Structure formats: structure tokens, C-alpha cells
Amino acid sequence: MRDLGLHLFMVVFCLIALAICLPFIWLLQFLPDWAWYPLGIAFLIWLLFGDTIAAGYRAYRGNQ
């Protein structure tokens, strides 16, 4: 019975996530080809240095 509840929760969660993400995915189709390179670079920088950037920002905000 617990597995059924978890399954129903995940189905509802998936529908909510799709409702939020699909408009953004559809809008991304209208981006020009050159725009994918800066987005990819920004995503790569965030993957590699996101924790460092966030920690530096928290440290800066804490000193004010």
C-alpha cells in the first residue's frame, strides 16, 4: 500500500514538473543557434563552480 502512495505522489509530482518546465522548453525552441553557446558555457561554469560561487556570495553577504 505504501508503494502505491509513493507511486501516486510521483505521478502527481511529474505532472506538476511538466506543467512548469514545458513552457520554458517551448520557448527555448525560438532561441537563435548562436545563443546555445553562451548558455552552454554558463551552465558548465555553474556545474563546475556553482558551490564556490554560492559560498563566496554567502560570505560576502555575511560581512555586510
DSSP string, the chain: -HHHHHHHHHHHHHHHHHHHHHHHHHHHTTS-GGGHHHHHHHHHHHHHHHHHHHHHHHHHHHT-
Number of domains in the chain: 2
The reply to whether 25 and 37 lie within a common domain is no
User: By C-alpha distance, which of 30, 24, 28 is closest to 39?
Assistant: 28
Structural domain span for residue 19: 1-30
Are residues 50 and 64 both part of a single domain?
Answer: yes
Do 21 and 38 fall into the same domain? Answer: no
pLDDT at 64: 52
Whether 37 and 64 map to the same domain: the answer is yes
Pair 24, 37 in one domain: no
Contacts of 39 (CB under 8 A, 6+ apart): 31
Q: Write out the chain's pLDDT in tens, 64 residues.
A: 778 888 999 999 999 999 999 998 899 899 999 999 999 999 999 898 888 888 888 888 875 5
Count H helices and E strands in the chain, helices first: 2, 0
Q: Verify that 25 and 38 share a domain, yes or no.
A: no
